[in-house]
């Protein structure tokens, strides 16, 4: 579809009976977005404010929560606008930009979790080397790479798709993701192979690295006394839970959508919402409740707010 300015527009056809449940959808999604912003930013700001939390582990957690806020902001404002609009559409350049942000931040999550696993590995398996290894410079480099490496990988894929010809203009989704490949007139083996390489580099390799480091950690923990085991349980299990959740969601997005599985529109709509809702909501809950130091400071914060 094109207007007088020759801008191509794509219809977001994944919405279910928007005209009938418009305001219910809007209020529900707005509430979820507000909760995501408030929960993630509260814990991230708490880590920044409290000097006792200025340790690499908590800095990586704050980065992960900020990543969730940026990830949600890439989706929810446009989604809320579409719900109130008569036509759910997006320009092709804006769609590609949304794809770029979506996959950059998605892959950044894996790299941030990989950095956290490395931090836990050094802390538990090589405690004497920890102050020398996990310096401020090291933490800063890991944070920069966690966002820069996926951005460079995904940017190349997006640039390769800019001039590809579209033969279909209705996307089976409520936002732009890899299902945009179904709209092109012909498939590109080169781009598909590059996409596989991106997934391997910024998702599969970090995941294997995480599993490797935690295997090393559990081996040391198994031979250690109770204090080390408690430390490992408190700091490592939340990371593994987040990794498992996110891997399952990304598996759906990267594989099932690309294979054009015969899901009903309602099933696809619900599963798509899970991708953009589950992790941003669960991350602050997991880290806020399972991490003892963060939980303690949160209780103090809410107690003070209650008194005032």
Local confidence pLDDT in tens for the 308 residues of the chain = 444 456 789 998 888 888 888 899 899 999 999 999 999 999 999 899 888 888 998 999 999 999 999 999 999 999 999 999 888 899 999 999 999 999 999 899 889 999 999 998 898 888 889 999 999 999 999 999 999 999 999 999 999 888 888 888 888 888 998 888 888 888 888 888 898 898 889 988 998 998 898 888 888 877 766 666 666 666 677 777 777 777 777 777 666 555 555 566 777 777 778 778 888 888 888 877 667 777 777 777 666 655 55
CA distance 256 to 230: 38
| Per-residue confidence (pLDDT) for residue 4, from 0 to 100 | 47
Three-state SS string over 171-239 comes to: ECCCCCCHHHHHHECCCCHHHHHHHHHHHHHHHHHHHHHHHHHHHHHHHHHHCCCHHHHHHHHHHHHHH
How many separate helices (H) and strands (E) can be counted in the chain? 10, 3
* Contact status, residue 81 vs residue 174, Cβ threshold 8 Å: no
CATH code assigned to 9-307: 1.20.1070.10
Q: Count CB-CB contacts under 10 A for residue 298.
A: 18
Supply the pTM of this predicted model.
0.88
| Per-residue confidence (pLDDT) for residue 155, from 0 to 100 | 94
């Amino acid at each position: 579809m094109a207007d007088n300015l020759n801008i191509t527009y794509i219809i977001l056809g994944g919405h279910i009976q928007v005209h009938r449940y418009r305001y219910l959808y809007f209020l529900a999604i707005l509430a979820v977005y507000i909760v995501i912003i408030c929960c993630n930013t509260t814990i991230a700001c708490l880590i920044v404010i409290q000097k006792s939390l200025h340790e690499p582990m908590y800095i990586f957690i704050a980065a992960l929560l900020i990543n969730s806020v940026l990830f949600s902001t890439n989706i929810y404002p446009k989604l809320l606008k579409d719900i109130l609009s008569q036509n759910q559409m997006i320009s092709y350049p804006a769609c590609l930009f949304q794809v770029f942000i979506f996959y950059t931040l998605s892959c950044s999550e894996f790299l941030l979790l990989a950095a956290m696993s490395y931090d836990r590995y050094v802390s538990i398996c090589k405690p004497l080397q920890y102050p020398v290894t996990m310096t401020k410079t090291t933490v800063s480099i890991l944070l920069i790479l966690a966002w820069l490496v996926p951005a460079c990988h995904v940017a190349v894929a997006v640039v390769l798709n800019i001039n590809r010809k579209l033969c279909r203009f209705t996307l089976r989704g409520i936002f732009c993701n890899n299902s945009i490949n179904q709209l092109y007139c012909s498939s590109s083996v080169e781009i598909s192979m590059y996409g596989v390489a991106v997934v391997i580099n910024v998702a599969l390799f970090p995941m294997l690295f995480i599993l490797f480091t935690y295997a090393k950690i559990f081996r040391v923990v198994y031979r250690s006394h109770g204090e080390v085991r408690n430390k490992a349980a408190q700091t490592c299990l939340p990371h593994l839970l987040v990794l498992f959740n996110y891997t399952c969601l990304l598996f759906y997005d990267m594989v099932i959508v690309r294979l054009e599985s015969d899901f009903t529109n309602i099933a696809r709509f619900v599963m798509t919402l899970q991708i953009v809702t589950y992790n941003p909501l669960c991350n602050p809950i997991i880290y806020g409740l399972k991490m003892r130091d963060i939980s303690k400071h949160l209780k103090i914060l809410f107690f003070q707010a209650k008194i005032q």
